[in-house]
Structure 1
Amino acid sequence: MTMHHQLNGSSGSNGVVKTRRSHRKSRNGCSECKRRHIRCDERRPACTNCTIAERACSFPPARQPQSQLEPLPQPQLPHSPADSHLSRKSQHSPSSCEPDHPVPWPPCGPDPSSTSPESVIGAGRYRFAPAPPAGPQTLPSFTESFTNTAYHPPVPPATLFTAEHLMLFHHVSDAMSDCILARGQIKVVLDIAIRHLIDAPYLIDQLLALSALHVAFTSKPGEMPLNGTIVSFRNQATELQTRALSSFTRIAAMVPADDTATCVPRFLFASLLSNQVLAETLLQHQQPQPLPYHHDIMGVHGGGGGGSVGGGGPSGGAISFHGFIERMVECIHLHRGVLAQVRPTWDYLMQSELYPLLHITHDANIAAVTLKSGTECAALRQMIDAAASSVSRYGDASPPRLDQASADACRIAINSLQWAFDMHRALPDQDVPHAPSAFIVTLEAEYVDVLRTLLPEALVILAYLGVLIHRCRRFWIFGTAGANLIRAIAGYLGNHWHEPLAWPLKVIEEETD
């Protein structure tokens, strides 16, 4: 039997071969009818032949005239969260609908909030969809499609940590053993950060941020690791701090303030964050060499230059004195937030693995309260009493400079500052930030409001804080910051306030390394 017989059946009883019946071609018929060489009525979605035979009916794509093959210019579409979400879904979900060939996405820049493999690998102008996965593919459901455009939960970047982050982690463990909260306690902090990497990712991010700032502060320009610069490491510190704050805000909102399961990483995060913010705030007024005593000292009115912290730190870029005080006020508010994080779980923290870090300040605090208080702030108390009195320091009757509320706010701040001086003396190691941070944490909101008005008495109190910072100058975040703070306040207030500032100015001239 010939091939023609096999395709069209055998001959009849009379031995005559039946020929294939002719049919009219249907150019736009379905694929099944074309394969079977039968006429298709082109009925959609399923033609009559396929419907009767219960076959799967599909139509090939319609041919377009040559003039229509040219793609029309498409407007550049903005990159939306929905695009990112659907792109991620198409890459990872085998059930998503994907084209037969890679198609270009609308051109867009990398998402600054995340670091994904696409942004690293896709160096070209377009990003391309991946090849279609094996197996059956289905269209997304109606509900799924519209849910994707209605809500987009935050998705962490595919690559959480880079090679630079690993370098910063090594820098923490290798070069910052005496630079995190307390000497010799870096292993405890690192162990806690790694153990809580999943439920408290903000802690490791903040630790890396502080590491980047330490590199910027302590490395010489020609010795920066990974060919970095002071500016690049400071920017990286800011980026990591922002990422840490974002995750901390989201996670902390879901737990009560007295939650003991999360209080350890929350306390460490708040402490490290406050150190970084204080360092960056004090950096706003840096000067490598003391300037002559005059009103425009250190570019108080915008003309000063930057300097270094801790011997070879980054340039600070001096801002106006008003701007610096605003930054200082924000820093104080953040430190007061640390107290809000610590207070509900303090008893638990003292019994936790953080005891080696906390008992140092705890014991110094007991000594500061029980032992005889010092006299560092005696002149401040006399200044406030005179300003609140109706008799001026020259003996003539005049309206008091300070109202009762402002005077009380300053007195409370002075008491806290004297307590901080006493604590500093009781510490076994005085090259630590504990005493200045303790004072800032305990400041009342009323004093902060007075400070914001640039009241001279409030600024003099801040200059006395500069003395405390100056006595901790060997700690890397301080350096010359205390002396610079005192000179900035003296320059702003002018010669009329030289007498109240005499002691702070004397300290920074005599107590030098």
Structure 2
Amino acid sequence: SPAVSMLHLELYYHFTTTVFDSLAQRHEGSATSLETIIQASLSTPYLMHELLALAALHLSLVRPSQGTYYHTQATQLQCQAIALFRAREEDLNAATSLPTFLFSAILGTHVLCETLRFCTEGPSLATFLARFVQYTALHRGVRAVAGRTWDTLRQSAIAASWRVAESTPGVALGAVQQALLARIQAAKLGAVITDHYRLAIQCLPFSGDSSEPVASLTPQASCSRIIAWPVHVPQEYLAYLGQGRPEALVILAHYAVLLHQHRGFWVFGDAGAGLVVAIAEHLGTEWEGWLAWPQASILES
């Protein structure tokens, strides 16, 4: 094989000239300089592989005529990145906190994009739900390992990024969340299940009393918190989602509105609207009242 891979150089160039800027406009990485990311990746093979993987994924979307080729490359590079990361799990320490944080954030973005952009068109809702639950398990698993070293990030140059990534919305619920929670409480599902749903609803990054998703946040913070939602919800909620419980699907439909509000971000695309429609078709007319707001929201914007 050649000593220099022209493909990898192409992907590296694409990340530094295009992908990073797209993330900086919409994601927590905006508070992390390109130079910081590049320096970290040059000494951390698993991070470098994931940067290249994300660049390949982006190219698969913006160059549809070569989509299959770049998507295959993205998958292979991501698998290599995860294998390299797992091989270094025992070596993670305070000195590796920066690359592990970046790896977790970028991998999470990659796998969410993969799930949303490639599993909401064509496959059944059940297939999407299975992939979504798998995505959250992978992202949570990597974060659990990487997070052991993150205390040092509070005083680091990327402290702002770290705070956004780790923060969750406050306990005060907006009007839409309150209405959704009231329906779930009225359904009398039992205290334990209701509390799991309450926590999942509370994690939805709506702003204050507004019915507008994350209206008061910057685009970077908005998208970062949308990406973080599946990581912060209770594990039990994800189990209910995997089982296809209607109330869990309704909450997911509200999350899909957040995706739709930020559909200009290539990671989300048009997945939000498609997900609301798929959930509504699956649940049928019996759940129309529960889905009135999500359905109206995707029609209005």
With structure 1 as the length reference, what TM-score do the two structures score? 0.53
The number of equivalent residue pairs is 291
Q: Which amino acid aligns with 2:195?
A: D
In 2: Cα distance, 1:431 partner to 1:443 partner: 18
Aligned to 1:207: 51
In 2: Cα distance, 1:464 partner to 1:214 partner: 26
Aligned to 1:248: 85
Aligned to 1:333: 137
For the 8 Å contact 2:119–2:127, the answer to whether it is kept is: no
In 1: Cα distance, 2:150 partner to 2:5 partner: 35
Q: Alignment partner of 2:269: what SS?
A: coil
Counterpart check, 1:486 vs 2:276: yes
For the 8 Å contact 1:285–1:484, the answer to whether it is kept is: no
Query: How far is the alpha carbon of 1:373 from its aligned partner?
Result: 4.5
Query: How far is the alpha carbon of 1:243 from its aligned partner?
Result: 0.7
Aligned to 2:22: 179
Where in structure 2 are the equivalents of 1:213-228 lying within 5 Å?
213-221=57-65
Aligned to 1:168: 11
Query: How far is the alpha carbon of 1:426 from its aligned partner?
Result: 4.1
CA displacement 1:191-213 (0-9 Å, x = unmatched): 2212x2xxx20000000000001
For the 8 Å contact 1:470–1:482, the answer to whether it is kept is: yes
Counterpart check, 1:379 vs 2:179: yes
Q: Which of the residues 75, 87, 101 maps onto 1:267?
A: 101
Aligned to 1:408: 195
CA displacement 1:204-246 (0-9 Å, x = unmatched): 000000000111112353xxxxxxx100000000000011111
Query: How far is the alpha carbon of 1:477 from its aligned partner?
Result: 0.6
Counterpart check, 1:463 vs 2:253: yes
Query: How far is the alpha carbon of 1:168 from its aligned partner?
Result: 0.6
For the 8 Å contact 2:46–2:82, the answer to whether it is kept is: yes
Seen in structure 2, the aligned counterparts of structure 1 residues 384 and 442 have a Cα distance that, compared at 3 Å, is: same
Aligned to 1:188: 36
For the 8 Å contact 1:338–1:441, the answer to whether it is kept is: no
For the 8 Å contact 1:193–1:203, the answer to whether it is kept is: yes
Q: Alignment partner of 2:107: what SS?
A: helix
Percent of aligned positions that are identical: 35
Query: How far is the alpha carbon of 1:179 from its aligned partner?
Result: 2.4
Aligned to 1:239: 76
In 2: Cα distance, 1:451 partner to 1:279 partner: 19
**Relative to structure 2, which stretch is displaced further, 341-350 or 469-478?**
341-350
Query: How far is the alpha carbon of 1:430 from its aligned partner?
Result: 5.2
Aligned to 1:449: 239
Aligned to 1:303: none
Q: Alignment partner of 1:376: what SS?
A: helix
In 1: Cα distance, 2:149 partner to 2:240 partner: 31
Q: Alignment partner of 2:207: what SS?
A: helix
For the 8 Å contact 2:41–2:48, the answer to whether it is kept is: yes
Where in structure 2 are the equivalents of 1:42-57 lying within 5 Å?
none
Aligned to 2:226: 436
Q: Alignment partner of 2:56: what SS?
A: helix
Aligned to 1:508: 298
Q: CA RMSD in A?
A: 2.3
In 1: Cα distance, 2:74 partner to 2:180 partner: 37
Q: Alignment partner of 1:449: what SS?
A: helix
Q: Alignment partner of 1:421: what SS?
A: coil
Query: How far is the alpha carbon of 1:183 from its aligned partner?
Result: 3.5
Seen in structure 2, the aligned counterparts of structure 1 residues 430 and 376 have a Cα distance that, compared at 3 Å, is: farther
Seen in structure 2, the aligned counterparts of structure 1 residues 251 and 430 have a Cα distance that, compared at 3 Å, is: closer
For the 8 Å contact 2:112–2:135, the answer to whether it is kept is: yes
Greater relative CO, 1 or 2 (CA 8 Å, sep 6+): 2
In 2: Cα distance, 1:444 partner to 1:324 partner: 19
Query: How far is the alpha carbon of 1:260 from its aligned partner?
Result: 0.4
For the 8 Å contact 1:332–1:443, the answer to whether it is kept is: no
Q: Which amino acid aligns with 1:328?
A: F
Q: Which amino acid aligns with 1:354?
A: I
Q: Alignment partner of 1:319: what SS?
A: coil
In 1: Cα distance, 2:160 partner to 2:16 partner: 18
For the 8 Å contact 2:117–2:269, the answer to whether it is kept is: no
In 2: Cα distance, 1:430 partner to 1:470 partner: 15
Query: How far is the alpha carbon of 1:386 from its aligned partner?
Result: 1.3
CA displacement 1:442-474 (0-9 Å, x = unmatched): 111111111111110010001111011112212
In 2: Cα distance, 1:452 partner to 1:359 partner: 30
CA displacement 1:82-107 (0-9 Å, x = unmatched): xxxxxxxxxxxxxxxxxxxxxxxxxx
Aligned to 2:211: none
In 2: Cα distance, 1:416 partner to 1:451 partner: 15
CA displacement 1:463-510 (0-9 Å, x = unmatched): 111011112212111111111111111111111111100101111111
**Which structure features the higher share of helix residues?**
2
Q: Alignment partner of 1:407: what SS?
A: helix
In 2: Cα distance, 1:469 partner to 1:324 partner: 15
In 1: Cα distance, 2:144 partner to 2:221 partner: 26
For the 8 Å contact 1:267–1:338, the answer to whether it is kept is: no
